[in-house]
Chain A
């Protein structure tokens, strides 16, 4: 193992000097792909891992990528519409409830007023009964 890592370090030095061949660079890639490495070579592990993924980067044709984006946008806008309309609905409901309560209060007050006035009216009208009684008693005499 120490022999191997010594070889690798030598290769790395030549890699940094840009003196490695393509096949030597493949060797390095394969080495860093497999398993653990000396912590002093962590940077190389990261670098080779990145260059391998960079090789896989693909140009997704617009139809694919844009349609996926569109779906997200559609989902987002639907969510926003739902939330706002629900909010507005709740607000309106609340408003309506308040209005209804106010109307109820006002009606109640109006009825109360009518009732008191009615009571006043009936009491004053009831005096008419006395008048009738006294008139009839006078007439009889």
Chain B
């Protein structure tokens, strides 16, 4: 019966994991790898996890850790400069490259610091509660709110700049 539960929720969780991984790693291929790896691990340990909600939280925490590890090893080999460093000039030049407004919002979000990016994704895209986010990111609710607020304000500022340029 556990298999049935797993199969029922696996698709939904898979999509969620993919979106989180894509947000952090940017590349589709890497996000796909991360999703698959985490799903396999969850499957191996699913006997320990009876509750569906806990499977999801556990999987999200795993994908977060996986992505952070990937980002760390990339940083060590100087590969992720493009995405890990946030600078405003990049935003502005990107504004002219962006074909439409939505892809520009995406660029702004992807340029946020990893922690803010992840919390924003969990809250504003996945609609997670602060308790769920706390399980995934292992942070105090107040610290989560601070990061979320910073992320939202930063996105607002960047978008207002773009609006002023009339793009």
| Max chain B C-beta neighbours (<10 A), residue from A22, A25, A50 | A50
B126 touches A50 (CB 8 A): no
A17 touches B163 (CB 8 A): no
| A10 CB, nearest partner CB in chain B, Å | 15
Q: Once A and B bind, how many residue pairs between them come within 8 Å at the CB atom?
A: 70
Q: Which residues of A contact B31 (CB under 8 A)?
A: 59
- Within 8 Å of chain A (Cβ to Cβ): is B159? yes
Q: Which residues of B contact A43 (CB under 8 A)?
A: 155-156, 159-160, 163
Interface string of B20-36 (1 = CB under 8 A from A): 00100000000110010
Interface size class of A (residues with CB under 8 A): 20 to 34
| A3 CB, nearest partner CB in chain B, Å | 23
A16-B149, A18-B152, A25-B124 as given contacts; A59 in contact with B105, CB under 8 Å: no
Q: Which residues of A contact B22 (CB under 8 A)?
A: 57
- Within 8 Å of chain A (Cβ to Cβ): is B153? yes
B contact residues, total (Cβ < 8 Å):
33
- Within 8 Å of chain A (Cβ to Cβ): is B114? no
- Within 8 Å of chain B (Cβ to Cβ): is A62? yes
Interface of B, helix, strand, loop or mixed by DSSP: helix
Q: Which residues of B contact A54 (CB under 8 A)?
A: 19, 106, 109, 121, 125
| A61 CB, nearest partner CB in chain B, Å | 9
Choose from B14, B32, B144, B156 the contact partner of A16 (Cβ within 8 Å). Answer: B156
A18 touches B149 (CB 8 A): yes
Q: Which residues of B contact A42 (CB under 8 A)?
A: 159, 163
| B151 CB, nearest partner CB in chain A, Å | 9
A15 touches B152 (CB 8 A): yes
Q: Which residues of A contact B148 (CB under 8 A)?
A: 18
- Within 8 Å of chain B (Cβ to Cβ): is A49? yes
A55 touches B102 (CB 8 A): no
Q: List the interface of chain B (C-beta within 8 A of A).
A: 14-15, 18-19, 22, 31-32, 35, 101-102, 104-106, 109, 121, 123-127, 129, 144-146, 148-149, 152-153, 155-156, 159-160, 163
Can you list 10 pairs linking A and B with CB atoms under 8 Å apart? A17-B149, A46-B101, A47-B152, A50-B105, A53-B102, A54-B106, A54-B125, A55-B126, A58-B15, A62-B32
